[in-house]
Amino acid sequence: MRSRRTRMLATMGAFIVALPIAAVISSPASGAPADTAPETPYTLENGVTAPTYSYPDAIRETVWVTAPDFDEDGEPDRIAADIIRPSELDGTAEIPVVMDASPYYLCCGRGNESELKEYDSHGNPIKFPLFYDNYFVPRGYGYVAVDMGGTARSTGCVDQGAKNDILTVKAVVDWLNGNADAVDADGNPVEADWTNGKTGMIGKSYDGTIANGVAATGVEGLETIVPISAISSWYDYDRYQGLPFSFDYPSWLSGVVAEERTERIDCSAKLAEMAAEDGDETGAYDEFWAARDYRDGVWQAEDVEASVFIVHGVQDTNVKTPNFSRWWNDLADAGVDRKMWLSRVGHVDPFDFGREEWVPTLHRWFDHELMGIDNGIDREPAVRVETAPGQWVEDGDWPLGTRPVTLHPRTDGSLTLGLRDRGEAGFVNDPLQTEAQSVVAGPNPNRLLFTTDTLQRDIRVSGEPQVTLDVSHTAATGQVGVALVVYGEATRVSTQGDGAQTLPTESCWGEATAADEACYFDVAQRRSSTPLQVISRGWARLDGAGQHDVTVDMTANDLVVPAGHQLGLVVVASSRNRIVTVDSEPTPYDVGLRDTAVRLPVQGEPPTFTAGASLVPTLGELTAGTLADTSIEFRLPR
């Protein structure tokens, strides 16, 4: 059997040979003489830019853009930007840029196959991770892969989403638009005279987070961003209403992504400063976190000028869903043009959960936003949601037509639409209790469980549920965790592997060279039959002993809950393996039911219920993939 690379090159080589010679040499605008410079850098086929230019012959180069002195060594920082662009258009047409700025190009890799950048013996880039260069460069785009400041071949010191991370990448956008300086490897000035100054940023996780942050600066020339599984507020990544997901995370992450940098710069002072100022002990939102907030902190959603195409998995327990839902709403308030895909998987790129639909959609999006082609994508439904495995619906906005349905817990363990219960319910904190133990049937003094009767018809839950609690405790610092559960056997997207499974087959997306192929392992959605699903979670810190009226804004979701299923509310104190334990004692907690309620965002008419047997399983009935295998141990947003 031929190797993966040999098979791919044979396929792509045949494709390149088959291209019309005239199309490879030039792409004049309709009606323009063939011997004149093209007015546009593309040829349209079936309404989209066609692969007209040679990928093997493309110009590959590196420039170092000048940025502020974030590592405080007395010299401006130098930000490495690796560039690939069509040689046929050099000096004849100005082209737009697709950019992926990342901290992971040398330390950790990009994509499902963890690809790294590669260079020849002279330091010239020969391999760009992911398919973006292979696919878009032949269609008349430039592609720029930026080493975020403090990583790989860039100088500076990483500061987990603050000024270094954002402004070092902004400097590259400025250079592409003629508003910053750059040099080549020999120190000679370099101008981006080959681009029209229009940039579109894309990236998953940390990469998409950088795109969010750069957009929030309002930088000129950034036309669109495509943040995938991305962070919009690092507080909402590292914290949940005053509770950390882990200790000293900002300094740890900043150190990890800088480990494989080519220039050994001492950033220990910056890391120590971050560890001292991150506020793990209080969990408070303060200046440290405002500097890492792109919605309403130092950076503002109202300053975003670029259009935004959000992609997120509603089962993402890494970059949790408030990062997309609150960003989406804040962008709406700012009047930003928006589009969004929501899938049922976890922290997974759309290239890996639906590339057959994703690549053509992304292609049309960049054609519209960067090439200025009127292909109608802006007039299509703005939102596409997978409300059940493999079942996608489209809407004009999100959430669409929901109303809050209020459910009240009662002392008999029910969760009803009826009158409030004036009684109390109590439990004892168990810091070793797992989520699996807390959501199943059986006597359990360490949690509260309230369930509805069975649903008489399907309902669609869309948005952020909310729980208000009247809770009392005796700890100096208490905590509470809530989970909204759907009970009932059904085929669901598994939580194992974030709901994605890599297959042995491959598909190719673009042109290639011997060093940079365009074929990737296919990925399938991992599904399994499970007796329950946790559809939303939330936590809150309770400072001081006594009574607390607390509202927990839970993680967003969008799904159809089938008829015949039950809804459940679980209340605990500590949540082992999900959030840092601040109350490690067997503290009693009391919940006053009169002022405790669940507000559920439901589309259409309120749910109706009918009495039936309980669907809550025992612990032994849980199956693999029922609950997300998460841990409060450090995890990379990648």
H helices, E strands: number in the chain: 12, 33
pLDDT of the residue at 401: 82
Residues 359 and 490 reside in one and the same domain: no
DSSP 258: T
pLDDT of the residue at 632: 61
Residues of the chain scoring pLDDT < 70: 1-39, 629-634
In a domain, 287, yes or no: yes
Q: What's the one-letter identity of residue 202?
A: I
In a domain, 281, yes or no: yes
In the block, residue with structure tokens 């589309």: 603
In a domain, 132, yes or no: yes
Domain that holds residue 97: 4-337+344-380
In a domain, 348, yes or no: yes
Residues 375 and 410 reside in one and the same domain: no
In a domain, 397, yes or no: no
In a domain, 314, yes or no: yes
User: Residues 552, 436: contact at Cβ < 8 Å?
Assistant: no
Q: Closest Cα to residue 159, out of 98, 68, 64?
A: 68
Residues 419 and 313 reside in one and the same domain: no
d(CA 425, CA 408): 13
User: Residues 51, 42: contact at Cβ < 8 Å?
Assistant: no
Residues 183 and 90 reside in one and the same domain: yes
In a domain, 390, yes or no: no
Residues 372 and 424 reside in one and the same domain: no
Residues 161 and 214 reside in one and the same domain: yes
Residues 214 and 293 reside in one and the same domain: yes
d(CA 354, CA 341): 11
pLDDT of the residue at 385: 98
Residue 132: both structure tokens together: 């973006």
What pLDDT digit, counting tens, does each position of 467-476 carry?
Answer: 999 999 999 9
Residues 152 and 217 reside in one and the same domain: yes
What amino acid positions are annotated as catalytic residues? 205, 316, 347
By CB neighbour count within 10 A (0-12 exposed, 13-18 middle, 19+ buried), where does 180 fall? middle
In a domain, 395, yes or no: no
Residues 420 and 532 reside in one and the same domain: yes
DSSP 251: H
Domain with residue 441: its CATH number is 2.60.120.260
Residues 331 and 456 reside in one and the same domain: no
Domain count, the chain: 2
